[in-house]
């Protein structure tokens, strides 16, 4: 059977492609503006990639076309699918029907932390020998691949860990993706989620989630906290979050020592431990697994050390994520210089709805350089009304020139974008 995927280089659709390939299907797909790491991962799996959308990509008519949610009517390849009368489906529906039906699904929802928490939980299950399936919106370095089928003999049983976001499934399937997944264990890092029998895991002090659950929830809820008194609590032993004890009903379960920092990652870890406990893994074993956890690619990943400069790649897409990341780094490096270089690329960032919060999220940086490309929908100069550590650059050349000067004093340079940032990563390394 031949499956063709439109939008194949998106993190979700790329994961579907890997799983379909592991099921034994012939898989091809098309996308535009393709860049690593997803394109590299797909090519390594023997999946045929086509750059750009065109009717010819459909070749001799695949048996099924999976259409990503970024595509809509008017796209030439979508129109060709419809004109030819080919079978088509949304990605989440295909996954639910062909992979998830007989699995214990553990879904991770939230505006921030889905990828990291999904990776942690998958690794805990792997560490305990459960061979979980997973679909992750990034490449967890413990696995080196963003998705796999997993499961028991003939892949017909076991656990499956998945990011559960609220975006539309496709232009013809307006249900949120997580509606298809029906998780038995659900982690709510910081987002609304409602479901039936099972377990919901959420932070004690997240007012938004508490408000939503108060509207009506018929599922047990496990609450988490840091330095507080919830059922599951993390007590910070180091301010940067690199060491903390885990308590259940005030009884210590063990101590996590790891390379990650930031309170957001402590919350992520605590949620993963609670979810693992729900499927029968003792907290002490989950804690041992996290001690060997390697963060996801592009999550504060050190990509170079040049003289006195440490260069990081961080998949930042929202002011809260930026703020928590820089807070963790500040607590780790003390008074050493931090320079944040931000590409406002996510939909909400591009629309300018986070002006004040974006400016304030950069407070832990000694200098924040914001990239304003010509096609940005708002004037970044408004940020200057809220902070005095921000500079705006309208070209990558200007950013690189500025950083070459700043590099003389050394420090930590954090490149923050959920895209390719115009290829600045390699260019900057070469210039430094």
Q: 3.40.50.460, 3.40.1190.10, 3.40.50.11540, 2.40.160.20: which CATH number matches 95-290?
A: 3.40.1190.10
Question: pLDDT digit string (tens) for 351-363?
Answer: 555 678 889 999 9
Every domain of the chain and the residues it spans: 2-86, 95-290, 301-431
Helix (H) or strand (E) holding 303: strand 301-306
Find the range with the poorest average confidence among 169-173, 299-303, 316-320: 316-320
Reported as type and span, the H/E element at residue 429 is: helix 424-431
Residue 72's CB: how many other CB atoms inside 10 A?
A: 11
| pLDDT for 191 beyond 60 | no
pLDDT of 280 reads 94
pLDDT value of position 5: 97
Sequence-ordered list of residues with C-beta below 8 angstroms from that of 96, at least 6 positions apart, any chain: 180, 181, 182
Biggest CA-to-CA distance, the chain: 63
Alpha-carbon gap, residue 205 to 226, rounded angstroms: 10
For the question of whether the overall pTM of this predicted structure is more than 0.85, the answer is no
Q: How far apart are CA 188 and CA 179, in angstroms?
A: 14
Do the bridges between strand 64-67 and strand 88-90 make them parallel or antiparallel, or are there none, so unpaired?
parallel
Model confidence pLDDT, tens digit, residues 103-129: 999 999 876 788 999 999 999 999 999
> Which of 204-208, 259-263, 378-382 ranks highest by mean pLDDT?
259-263
Residue 216 clears pLDDT 90, i.e. is over it: no
d(CA 419, CA 345): 7
The correct answer on CATH 3.40.50.720 for the domain covering 2-86 is: yes
CA distance 95 to 248: 35
Which three-class secondary structure state does DSSP give residue 361? helix
| Most confident of the following: 27-36, 69-78, 217-226 | 69-78
- Residue 73: how many CA atoms within 13 Å on its side-chain side? 5
Q: 301-431 in CATH: which number? A: 3.90.190.20
Instruction: Specify the pLDDT at position 355.
Output: 77
Which pLDDT belongs to residue 353? 56
Lowest mean pLDDT among 85-89, 324-328, 416-420: 416-420
d(CA 275, CA 277): 5
Whole-angstrom Cα distance, residue 376 to residue 352?
Answer: 9
229-256 pLDDT tens trace:
899 999 999 999 999 999 999 999 999 9
* Mean pLDDT (the chain, rounded): 89
What mean pLDDT is predicted for residues 75-90? 97
What pLDDT is attached to residue 35? 67
Confidence of residue 297 (pLDDT cuts 50, 70, 90): confident
Q: Cβ neighbours of residue 180 under 8 Å, at least 6 residues apart?
A: 92, 93, 95, 96, 100, 169
Cα(319)–Cα(322) distance, rounded to whole angstroms? Answer: 5
């Amino acid at each position: 059977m031949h499956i063709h995927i439109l939008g194949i280089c998106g993190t979700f659709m790329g994961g579907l492609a890997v799983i379909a390939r592991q099921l034994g299907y012939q898989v091809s797909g098309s996308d535009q503006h393709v860049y690593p790491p997803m394109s590299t991962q797909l090519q390594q799996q023997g999946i045929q990639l086509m750059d750009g959308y065109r009717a010819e990509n459909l070749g001799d008519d695949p048996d099924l076309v999976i259409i990503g949610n970024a595509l809509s009517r008017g796209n030439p390849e979508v129109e060709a699918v419809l004109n030819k009368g080919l079978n088509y489906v949304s990605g989440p529906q295909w996954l639910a029907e062909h992979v998830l039906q007989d699995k214990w699904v553990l879904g991770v929802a939230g505006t921030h932390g889905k990828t990291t928490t999904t990776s942690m939980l998958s690794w805990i299950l792997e560490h305990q020998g459960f061979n979980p399936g997973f679909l992750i919106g990034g490449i967890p370095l413990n696995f080196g691949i963003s998705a796999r089928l997993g499961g028991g003999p003939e892949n017909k049983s076991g656990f499956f860990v998945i990011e559960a976001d609220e975006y539309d499934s496709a232009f013809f399937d307006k249900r949120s993706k997580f509606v298809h997944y029906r998780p038995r264990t659900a982690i709510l890092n910081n987002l609304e989620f409602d479901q039936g029998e099972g377990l919901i895991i959420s932070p004690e002090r997240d007012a938004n989630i508490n408000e939503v659950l108060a509207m009506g929830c018929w599922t047990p809820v496990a609450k988490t906290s840091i330095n507080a008194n919830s059922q599951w609590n993390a007590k910070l032993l180091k301010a940067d979050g690199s060491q903390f004890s885990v308590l259940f009903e005030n009884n210590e379960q063990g101590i996590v020592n790891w390379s990650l920092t930031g309170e957001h990652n402590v919350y992520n870890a605590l949620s993963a431990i609670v979810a693992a406990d729900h499927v029968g893994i003792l907290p002490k074993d989950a804690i041992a697994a996290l001690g060997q956890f390697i963060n996801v690619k592009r999550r504060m990943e050190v990509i170079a050390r040049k003289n006195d400069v440490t260069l990081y790649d961080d998949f930042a897409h929202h002011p809260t994520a930026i703020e928590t990341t820089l807070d963790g780094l500040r607590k780790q490096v003390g008074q050493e210089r931090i320079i944040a270089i931000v590409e406002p690329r996510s939909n909400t960032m591009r629309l300018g709805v986070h002006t004040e919060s974006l400016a304030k999220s950069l407070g832990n940086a000694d200098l924040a350089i914001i990239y304003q490309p010509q096609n940005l929908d708002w004037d970044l100069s408004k940020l200057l009304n809220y902070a005095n550590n921000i500079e705006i650059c309208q070209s990558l050349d200007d950013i690189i020139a500025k950083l070459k000067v700043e590099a003389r004093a050394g420090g930590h340079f954090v490149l923050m974008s959920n895209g390719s940032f115009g290829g600045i990563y390699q260019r900057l390394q070469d210039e430094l």
